[in-house]
Chains A and B, each alone.
Chain A
Amino acid sequence: MIRLEKRPEPSRGWTALTPVLAVVLTMIAGGALFALLGKDPFVAMKTIFWDPILGEYAFYYRGQLLVKAAPLVLIAVGLSLGFRAGVWNIGAEGQYIVGALCGGAVGLAFYPAEGWYIFPLMVVAGALGGWLWAMIPGILKTRFNTNEILVSLLLVYVAEQLLAASALRWLKNPEGQGFPGSRNLAQYPAASNPELIAGTGMHWGVVAAMIAVIFAYVLLNRHMTGFHIRLAGQAPRAARFSGVSPSRLVLFCFSVSGALAGLAGLFELTGPAGQISIDFNVGYGFTAIIVAFLGRLHPVGILLAGLLMALTYIGGEAAQSTLGLPAAAIQAFQGMLLFFLLAVDVLINFRVRFGRAMA
């Protein structure tokens, strides 16, 4: 029989090892799943994990890696601060949309003017939009003690309606022959977010994600606010005793995660997406939740997890097209990653003992 024995202290070794173990277990279970679907599991794993980086067509995929990872990392870093403090912003997808809409609206308002100041103004507007959308659950929670999980999640669907209305009416391209969608910002130089180094996928969103990772690392390890965030998550009563104001902490966490999600939306809109369309959002805000936990809510971990998750997206798409794997199988594969991570997490705080059953 297997017994679990609580460790006196969390194991540092396992804290670092469990993500790796989770990836290995996902590969095994995912491979079994693909084999049952009649595909060679080894070829599938190679297509997903190897080809996008080192395969024949890697020059195409490599750029995609940063493009996909940047919004995930940017959003997940913001969310991780709240998750550490026990503040559950589940609605980053909505903040992402509203950030893109606000930033995009500012850019479209200047069209066709040229000026260096236009893009920075859009960035500010994007962050403000995400921040505003996040303030709704934040203020409702601190004022009326509503459940922030529910409110932030439901606001995603409100944001999707705003997106549809924008694409169909408010921000519709007047020269678009009646097709839904805004002007293409990627073709409006003053408002575009181009690739900074050709072929790498490096755009301003990637730069912002790197800055966010460093900012979060310094905040958590060197600053009082970060210390209070960790304290509030681990021991809420001790946090109050220390002098943390729970309301201010909730608002801070929602501010940062909302603004970063808004930024991610804006960089996506002005770069890879180009225009506001009905299907502008593709679920980065939700996937970022997985990325945050996969990265142990640690900024550097999130950076790695974001790259890994981006890889499974790109590799998954490749597997769909070259091997004919169904999209649902790829989604299940990505879901397994979080499942196994949470399952092996038990090793951090518990020691597994194999021994005789208690009589």
Chain B
Amino acid sequence: MSEAEPLLRIEGLTKAYPGVVANSDVSFSVGPGRVHALLGENGAGKSTLVKMIYGLVRPDAGRMQLNGAPYAPPNPNAARASGVAMVFQHFSLFDALDVAENVALGMENPPPRRALAQRIREVSQAYGLPLDPARTVGDLSAGERQRVEIVRCLLQSPKLLIMDEPTSVLTPQEVEILFATLRQLAAEGTAILYISHKLEEIRSLCDGATILRLGKVVANCTPAEVSARELAEMMVGQTLITPTRAAAEGGKVVLEVSGLSLRPATPFGTSLKDIGFSVRAGEVLGIGGVAGNGQDELLAVLSGEAPVAAGAVRVDGRDVGALGPVERRRLGLLAAPEERLGHAAAPDMSLTENAMLTGSGRMGLETRGFLDWRKARVFAERIIAEFDVRTPGPSHAARSLSGGNLQKFVIGREILQEPRVLVVNQPTWGVDASAAASIRQALLDLAARGAAIVVISQDLDELMEISDRFCALNEGRLSPPRPAKGLSVEEIGLMLGGAHDLEAAHGTA
């Protein structure tokens, strides 16, 4: 295939930011109708590279060619005009507007409403992405929102479609539908640049792959011809640590949740409906589910941010429903929310101050309200050292850390406090493979020391790897937990899908 004239050719692309070289002499090419993977750890330079292709960032050196002609888009408008479209990892949609209005907002010259709605229906049917243009985006699932973004791109008939981690928010069934669409697009001659760190996906979908490490191309390969493990090792540059599960059984129940219901604080929040589960000492309970099905609410209820009825949450048999975060931490119930900046950590505060944020009580950093900053600094330094947080020191602001490093800090801060129960939401979201493996291992070690652990995640591979039991959140309801061992992908998909299956999403307006 590669003898055909490539659609996009990149030669020697280099981009440096103060203190860091994001891309150094990167070259590769993508032919028309090919699905090309861009693979790399966090900070490997994938985002910078696609931002240059999409005209958001200008390269310091190097050339790009599109269809054989020089290509140097000064801004995303120019990139779109040349036939390059991009679906971002984080959606830019307005919850309160309907699908057609959201699509129109992204267009330079939107056609009249009715014609646009018709076009949306045509495109979405042609590519098997059921979407009703009249529905309000706030009511859509994450998978449906992604369809809005994809359809928005497809309306421009792009020659090159860039997709940034598209499957992180999808159920296995939704992933299959997306792949069918992408294969159809490729068959019609559209080139697709696919960014992901899910190796199995890349092996099943992509024709070629370019692997980046520390801003440089380390390998080009055909994903179907190498194993996922080989891909991962090329990406990380070292042998992966596979977590080992020391199975612990028959501990006593530490966390008990029963009859838990919560009304949402915001109109677009999810209400929790009659949730019940229990976790034993030494056990890891995995809670799967597509984003927006009550994960944030469940974490808030367990951390104490959203107090609930007496008796709904018990730790060691003690009712903690009405207690706030401080009292719950004292009893050993700790939590790490998904959103690192602004929720788990204060962005403009130093790591020392962020260590104080949850550690003040259990680590003895305060006496009668007065704070011991020296001890807090020692605690922060311990987190940094034991969890390999890459930072010049604890006096630096949380926002100066990369996402993965801050995540290590946040998880480490809770683990080092030796909780009785630890609840984490998306513990390895946006964290590179080796760091993710060490975070998972730290969680398992904590369980082995007798803590009860609840892991809320959208990454099913992760949940299958570390959970003893598995259940799924769907529209605020929790499926009954089942032993993780022996669950098939289909069974998991059905647990995740619940009443929210694809036909229902398609049929009801």
Bind each other: yes
Contact A235 B346 (CB under 8 A): yes
Contact A222 B353 (CB under 8 A): no
Q: How far is the CA of A115 from the CA of B397 in the complex (A)?
A: 55
| Closest chain B residue to A245, Cβ basis | B324
Write out the residue numbers on chain B whose beta carbons fall within 8 Å of the beta carbon of A358: 58, 74-75
A8 neighbours in B (Cβ, 8 Å): 397, 399-400
Interface bin, chain B: 35 or more
Complex CA–CA separation, A231 to B339 (angstroms): 16
Do A238 and B371 have beta carbons less than 8 Å apart?
Answer: no
Inter-chain contact B343/A238, CB cutoff 8 Å: yes
- Give which listed residue, A9, A223, A240, contacts B397 with CB less than 8 A: A9
Contacts of A245 in B (CB 8 A): 324
Contact B343 A243 (CB under 8 A): no
- Which residue of the partner chain, among B58, B347, B349, B369, contacts A223 with CB atoms under 8 Å? B369
Q: How far is the CB of A175 from chain B (nearest CB, A)?
A: 51
- Which residues of B in the span 347-375 have a Cβ within 8 Å of any Cβ on A? 347-349, 353, 356-358, 360, 366, 369-371, 373
**Nearest A-chain residue to B306, judged by Cβ:** A240
Q: Measured between alpha carbons, how far is A225 from B3 in the docked complex, in Å? A: 68
> Which residues 214-255 in A have Cβ within 8 Å of B in the complex?
222-225, 227, 230-231, 234-235, 237-243, 245
Contact with A along B43-84 (1 / 0, CB 8 A): 000000000000000100000000000000011000000000
> Is there an interface contact between B346 and A234, defined as CB atoms closer than 8 Å?
yes
Chain B residues lying within 8 Å of A359, measured Cβ to Cβ, are: 74
CA distance A9 to B348 in the complex (A): 7
For chain B, residues 384 to 422, give those with C-beta under 8 angstroms from any C-beta of chain A: 396-397, 399-400
Instruction: List which B313-351 residues lie within 8 A (CB) of chain A.
Output: 324-326, 329, 335, 337, 339, 342-349
A243-B344 contact, Cβ under 8 Å, with A8-B397, A238-B357: no
Q: Does A326 contact B (CB under 8 A)?
A: no
- The verdict on B305 contacting chain A, using a C-beta distance below 8 Å, is yes
Return chain A residues, CB-CB under 8 Å to B345. 235, 238
In the complex, the answer to whether B371 meets A224 with C-beta atoms within 8 Å is: yes
Tell me whether A243 and B75 are in contact in the complex, defined as CB-CB below 8 angstroms, given that A9-B397, A227-B356, A234-B346 are known contacts.
Answer: no
Name the one of B303, B396, B399 contacting A241, with C-beta atoms under 8 angstroms: B303
Does B304 count as interface, using CB distance less than 8 angstroms?
yes
A358 to B347, CA, bound (A): 30
Chain A residues within an 8 Å CB radius of B353: 227
Find out whether the CB atom of B366 lies under 8 angstroms from the CB atom of A224: yes
Nearest chain B residue, comparing its CB with the CB of A5:
B18
Contact B358 A242 (CB under 8 A): yes
Closest residue of chain B to A231 (Cβ to Cβ) is B346
Question: Which residue of A222, A235, A239, A241 contacts B370 across the interface (Cβ within 8 Å)?
Answer: A222
User: Which A residues touch B346, using CB under 8 A?
Assistant: 231, 234-235, 238-239
**Contact of A9 with B399 in the complex, beta carbons under 8 Å:** yes
Min CB distance A123 to B, Å, is 25
In chain B, positions 230-275 with a C-beta closer than 8 Å to chain A are none
Considering the complex, which residues of chain A in the window 104-162 have a beta carbon less than 8 Å from any beta carbon of chain B?
none
- Of the candidates B304, B371, B396, the one having the most CB atoms from chain A within 10 angstroms of its own CB is B371
Q: Tell me how far the C-beta of A220 lies from the nearest C-beta in chain B, rounded to whole angstroms.
A: 11
Task: Answer yes or no: A10 CB below 8 A from chain B CBs.
Answer: yes
* Given contact pairs A224-B371, A243-B324, A9 touches B343 in the complex (Cβ within 8 A): no
Contacts of A225 in B (CB 8 A): 369
**Least Cβ–Cβ distance between B124 and chain A, in angstroms:** 35
CA A356 to CA B396, docked complex, whole Å:
32
CA distance A9 to B398 in the complex (A): 9
Chain A residues, Cβ within 8 Å of B329: 243
Assuming the A-B contacts A8-B399, A9-B397, are A238 and B344 also in contact, with contact meaning beta carbons closer than 8 angstroms in the complex?
A: yes
Known contacts A223-B369, A241-B303; A10/B325 CB under 8 A: no
Collect the chain B residues with CB atoms within 8 Å of residue A235's CB: 342-343, 345-349
CA distance A129 to B348 in the complex (A): 37
Interface centre among B348, B358, B373 (most CB of A within 10 A): B348
Report the bound CA distance from A240 to B343 in whole Å. Answer: 8
In the complex formed, the residue of B with least CB distance to A6 is B399
Does B348 lie within 8 Å of A231, measured CB to CB? Answer: no
Whether the Cβ atoms of B397 and A10 lie closer than 8 Å is yes
Separation of A235 and B74 alpha carbons in the complex (Å) = 35
| A309 CB to nearest chain B CB (Å) | 27
Q: Kindly provide the distance from the CB of B345 to the nearest chain A CB, expressed in whole angstroms.
A: 6
Task: Name the A residues within 8 Å of B343 (CB-CB).
Answer: 235, 237-238, 241
User: Nearest CB to that of B366 among chain A residues?
Assistant: A224
**In whole angstroms, how far apart are the Cα atoms of A359 and B345 in the complex?**
38
Per the bound structure, the CA–CA distance linking A235 and B356 in Å amounts to 14
Interface string of A177-221 (1 = CB under 8 A from B): 000000000000000000000000000000000000000000000
Q: Are B348 and A234 in contact (CB under 8 A)?
A: yes
Bound-state Cα–Cα, A235 to B349, Å: 9
Most central of A8, A245, A359 by chain B CB within 10 Å: A8
Task: Flag if A223 contacts B325 (CB, 8 Å).
Answer: no
How far in angstroms is the closest Cβ of chain B from A215? 13
Interface centre among A222, A237, A241, A243 (most CB of B within 10 A): A241
- Output the least CB separation between A152 and chain B (Å): 26
B residues near A223, Cβ cutoff 8 Å: 369-371
Q: Would A231 and B397 count as touching, CB distance under 8 A? A: no
Which B residue's beta carbon lies closest to that of A237?
B343
* Chain B residues closer than 8 Å to A239, beta-carbon distance: 346
Closest residue of B by beta carbon distance from A351: B18
Q: Hey, which chain A residues are within 8 Å of B339, CB to CB?
A: 237
A242–B325 CA distance with the chains assembled, in angstroms? 7
Nearest-Cβ distance from residue B427 to partner chain A, whole angstroms: 16
Minimum CB–CB distance from B190 to chain A (whole Å) comes to: 28
Separation of A243 and B74 alpha carbons in the complex (Å): 47
Q: Which residues of B contact A238 (CB under 8 A)?
A: 342-346, 357
Complex: A227 Cα to B376 Cα, angstroms: 13
Contact B337 A241 (CB under 8 A): yes
CB distance from A260 to the nearest CB of B (A): 20
Q: Known contacts A231-B346, A234-B348, A242-B357: does B397 contact A222 (CB below 8 Å)?
A: no
Complex Cα distance, B365 from A223, in Å, reads 11
Chain A, residue nearest B353 (CB): A227
Q: Which of B75, B348, B358, B366 contacts A10 (CB 8 A)?
A: B348
Seen from chain A, the residues whose Cβ lies within 8 Å of a Cβ on chain B are 8-10, 222-225, 227, 230-231, 234-235, 237-243, 245, 358-359
Ranked nearest first, the 3 interchain pairs of A and B with the lowest CB-CB distance are A243-B326, A243-B325, A235-B346
6 more A-B residue pairs beyond the given contacts A9-B400, A238-B357, with a C-beta to C-beta distance below 8 A: A224-B360, A224-B366, A242-B326, A243-B304, A358-B74, A359-B74
A-B contact pairs, 8 of them (CB 8 A): A8-B399, A222-B373, A225-B369, A231-B346, A231-B357, A235-B348, A241-B325, A241-B343
